[in-house]
Amino acid sequence: MTTAVPARTSAENRRLIASLIRDIPDFPQQGVGFKDITPLLGSAEGFRATVDELVAAAPPAIDVVVGMEARGFIVGAPVAVALGAGFVPVRKPGKLPAATYEVSYDLEYGSETLTIHTDAIKPGSRVLVVDDVLATGGTLAATAELIRRLGAELVHVAVVMELAFLEPHRRLAEAGLGETAITALVTVEG
């Protein structure tokens, strides 16, 4: 006989998720408190809860999930499958084989360039962006610019963890993304 395991509530899922993300001081450089999601990914229950909560955050009729290299691939791809949407990778330079658009930006520990195939998303498509961490907002702002260049519509952003003390919303507002709907499963205030 199998015993039914009661489903966790969303609040319980989010507490589980928060408990499985660890803080690594001074990585990758002095002064940065790195939020390591590998224990979360390594937990069957935790990873399941993460995907369930990100999927629940999505508005209806998403055509495409965009995930940013590399951790955005891990959390974005299963969300795309669950939503019945396609998955489009935003990659670091020199990785995508066909014609690309590129945007450069600064992040908490350095600067980076992101690229997308120029034909990756049909104009007018409804896009959900999924990533693990929203920190300064630089990666998200660059990704939003790439989606805009393709003529697609960024309808929602879902991240596992927001580092509110880095004030990503201020940077996103400066980038014209103040009205963009964002769900963070876990928010770190300080």
Residues known to be catalytic: 71, 108
Rounded CA gap, 85 and 88, in Å? Answer: 10
Q: Which of residues 94-123 bind ligand PRP (CB under 6 A)?
A: 107-108, 112
Site size toward ligand ADE (CB under 6 A) is: 9
Q: Which of 68, 129, 172, 182 binds ligand PRP (CB under 6 A)?
A: 68
Q: Kindly state the smallest distance separating residue 50's Cβ from ligand ADE, in Å.
A: 15
137 interface partner picked from ligand ADE, ligand PRP, none, CB below 5 to 8 A per type: ligand PRP
Write the CB contacts of 14 (distance below 8 Å, at least 6 apart in sequence): 49, 53, 185, 186
Write the CB contacts of 186 (distance below 8 Å, at least 6 apart in sequence): 14, 17, 18, 21, 160, 161, 162
Task: Find tokens 């963890």 and name the residue.
Answer: 161
Q: Which of 13, 16, 20, 35 binds ligand ADE (CB under 6 A)?
A: 35
Q: Which of 66, 68, 85, 135 binds ligand ADE (CB under 6 A)?
A: 135
Write the CB contacts of 39 (distance below 8 Å, at least 6 apart in sequence): 20, 21, 22, 46
* Interaction site with ligand ADE (CB under 6 A): 32-35, 107-108, 133, 135, 163
